[in-house]
Structure 1
Amino acid sequence: MSKRVALLGGVVLAAACSDEELVDGIFTQQQWVQIQELSPLPEPPLDPTNRYQRDPLAAALGHRLFFEAAYAGPLQVGDDGRNGGLGMPGDTGKIACASCHEGPWLIDLRTNPNNVSLGANIIPRNAASMVNVAYYSPWIENDGLLDSLWSEAMVDVEFDLGFNSSRLRLAHVIYERHREGYEAAFGSLDPALDPTHAEAARFPADARPGSPEWDAMTPEDQDHVTEIFVNFGKALHAYLDRLVSRDAPFDRYVAGETDAMSPAAKRGLQLFVGKAACVECHATPHFSDDDFHNTGLAATGPFISTEEQGRYDRIDFLLAHEFNSSSRWSDDRSTGRLDGVVKDEALIGTWRTKGLRHVAETAPYMHSGQFATLEEVVEFYDQGGHDEGFHGTKDEIIQPLNLTTDEKADLVEFLASLTGRELPPELLREPSD
């Protein structure tokens, strides 16, 4: 009898017999139903606000732009021999998306201290993995700053701590270095973006909204540059949509391969859906409910603000954002995802649930990057969060778990079983042609 048949047979037997019958000798029927809802991992959700999400031409352009550094503005913090800086203060063209998203899991392997990330300046976040990032829907970033992945791909360009750049710098680089790929996916670029063109003065070398150079442009030229900027974000989204890791030991186990997970990992899974109640928030195949919770975390660490209030602080930005899902740059303004979004004090101290796939490979943890290991994370939740020093009101579900030392180790073992196959190497390197 195959392992798959044996396991599925166990499920049937459990359903036919008394409540005391266990699936694989460990899971109740109710727990097994919950577990089956966590696997397999489907395709990333379609976002109607980006009609190019599954366009192969847009994805190919986004792949190239992920590794492009030429449009990056001047560094504010340089390399001091320890911090992982990318050059000297004032240097330009040094930062690409790939600068903070490296290795097989596309995380920051460079910045020191590694609870934050160093772009043009120090960003008080550790750069999150881009693998399976396309499953977050619709809220992007730990604090729900944005409501689409394409707009998230844009925000760092003009952020002074990120690329410290401008949409005009970006437009010129796309014209000079990626014109063929851009026009194949999105249509013609204005030839006056060529600095040798007779009308080149229409498009300054470096400008963004609020600058005198931008204000001097015609509305039509401003719109053309902003459209390039938006399509940059939508192309990157199309590329990120392809960065999917599946086939973790956990997935193989749920599919019927009974020895895909160790006994300790199975015990950890039983805790995950049972005593530890992790599944209350990590309840989908990408192990996030895409909602916001107050876990009682007192943020600490180098360069971390203790005053941040999570989702509450970001509502005003989200609703007024130039590129949100209700803006004219959205390909579907009728999604209604911003309906009912208000700045409610109940949101103080809440942060979006992080997905857990390949979590064992993506330390450090929490929005503050203050935990270096999964053991520390499990200990934090076992204690029921911190007793003081956090903002807002802790969620009722965050209670001491009273796990034993062995149970904590089993839970960590289960989390390690969520690491799927690495991405194809060609997706992780800069295209050569």
Structure 2
Amino acid sequence: MARVLSIFLLTLFLWSLSFCKEPVQKPELEGFVVKNVIHPNNNPYNQDKVELGKLLYFDKRLSLKGDTNCAICHSVEIQNSEVVSAPRNKIHKSVAPPLTNVALYKDVFTDPQANDLEEIVKERVHTAIMLKDEKTIVARLSQVPEYRELFEKSFGSPGITMDRIVKAISTFERTIISKNSKFDRYVMGEESALSPSQKRGLDVFMNKAKCTQCHKGPNFSDSEQHTTGLKGITQKIRTPSLRDVSKKSEFMHNGEFTKLEDVVNHFVKGGSKGSISDPLLKPSAISEEEKKDLIEFLRSLEGESHPLEMPKIPRA
């Protein structure tokens, strides 16, 4: 009975703030996450568009000098590729955010003027580093026979436009998701997927630590903006997803911490002394053992590694 109740409460927790259409039940485990990815009506999903978007994501012809692409800044796990230092500070105000699970957020990044991923993608293409001149981008791609064919297959009619470029990249980015984590397997009924420590940590996460005040839903984020408890930080920051959090090398929006343990300690203490007061940031009476269990639970949110294989960019 306790197991049934636990799964029931956990299911409610995960889907409570999921503003998605009624999902189609899938037998595959990955459906636990994938079914929450909603493609907008004006940019429906199809596999040809995903493949086209992936090529454009890696194609440097979208940049002014032909020397950078989306993947360089928004790093993903890439096979057969050298890591290249990117001019991130020229495009982004801070380190470019990873795009894993971007499709699971209710909104996109923190821009209040942007309503969907497509708007953000277009904004990023319109930078000093990428190519602001839409006509030049379209002309470059139109010279490539393979692109002309792919755009027609993806959209059902001939023609390469900036709107279609943006839609293809956005469709591809919505497929970059973290899935099949130990936690996902546990919720889907695999009792042994979580260790005893991780199960205890789940209980701490949901109850004593009250992490679900902000980290809720299938992406473990309410997509709302909150204070962070960091001294000297006055702006509110959108709740980050906790999926794959154990893979990160720095934490908080400004890289304040480099260890997951430090982040947990920060929030257990209710934030830093002298930081902005917030009713959601209160000290928690959690033991050192419970903190270890909580960290182990957070490690269970790490999805399977599926490195992207570098596509063969079409030649003109």
Q: Please tell me whether the aligned partners of residues 157 and 167 of structure 1 are also in contact (alpha carbons under 8 angstroms).
A: no
What is residue 284 of structure 1 aligned with on the other side? 217
Pairing 1:131–2:12 present = no
> Could you tell me how far apart the structure 1 residues matched to 2:277 and 2:164 are?
40
The number of equivalent residue pairs is 292
Q: Residue 179 of structure 1: SS of its match in structure 2? A: helix
Residues 1:422 and 2:305 aligned together: yes
Q: 2:58 aligns with which of 67, 84, 97?
A: 67
Q: How do 1:340-419 and structure 2 match up within 5 A?
A: 349-388=235-274, 394-419=277-302
Shift in CA distance, 405/286, structure 1 to aligned 2, threshold 3 Å: same
TM-score by length of 1: 0.61
**Aligned alpha-carbon RMSD (Å):** 2.9
User: 1:145 deviation in Å?
Assistant: 5.3
Asked whether the 8 Å contact 2:38–2:103 carries over to 1, the reply is no
Match for 2:167: what amino acid? Answer: K
1:201-280 → structure 2 map (5 Å cutoff): 228-280=161-213
| Maintained 8 Å contact 1:105/1:422 | no
Distance 1:120 1:367 in 2: 14
Q: CA deviation at 1:249?
A: 0.6
User: Which residue identity lines up with residue 149 of structure 2 in the other structure?
Assistant: E
Name the structure, 1 or 2, with higher relative contact order (CA <8 Å, separation 6+): 2
Q: Alignment partner for residue 159 of structure 2, among 175, 189, 198?
A: 189
From 113, 119, 140, the counterpart of 1:173 = 140
Q: Which residue of 2 aligns with 1:17?
A: none
1:381 is displaced (CA, Å) by 0.8
Contact 2:39 2:171 in 1 (8 A): no
CA distance change for structure 1 residues 415 and 386 in 2, over 3 Å: closer, same or farther? same
Q: Which of 20, 35, 39 matches 2:10?
A: 35
SS of 2:197's equivalent in the other structure is: helix
Q: In structure 1, give the amino acid aligned to 2:38.
A: L
1:411 Cα deviation after fit: 1.3
Aligned AA (1:421): E
Segment of structure 1 superposing worse, 32-41 or 172-181: 32-41
CA deviations over 1:402-432 (Å, ceiling 9, x no partner): 3322222221111110112223x5x442246
CA distance in 2: counterparts of 1:428 and 1:165, whole angstroms: 28
Equivalent residue for 2:45? Answer: 54
For the Cα contact (< 8 Å) 1:174–1:182, is it kept in 2?
A: no
**Partner Cα separation in structure 2 for residue 97 and residue 151 of structure 1:** 15
Structure 2 counterpart of 1:94, from 61, 67, 79 = 67
Structure 1: runs of 5 or more not aligned: 1-12, 15-22, 74-91, 112-116, 191-227, 300-305, 310-348
Rounded to whole Å, the distance in 2 between the matches of 1:174 and 1:44 is 33
Larger relative helix fraction: 2
Segments of 5+ residues of structure 2 without an aligned counterpart are 16-31
Q: Give the TM-score taking structure 2 as reference length.
A: 0.81
Number of the residue aligned with 1:338: none
Residue of structure 2 equivalent to 1:216: none
Q: Look up the SS of the partner of 2:279 in the other structure.
A: coil
The CA distance in 1 between the partners of 2:289 and 2:196, in whole Å, is 12
Amino acid at match of 1:173: R
Q: Which residue is 1:104 aligned to?
A: 77
Does the C-alpha gap of structure 1 residues 294 and 256 become closer, same or farther in structure 2, counting only changes over 3 Å?
Answer: same
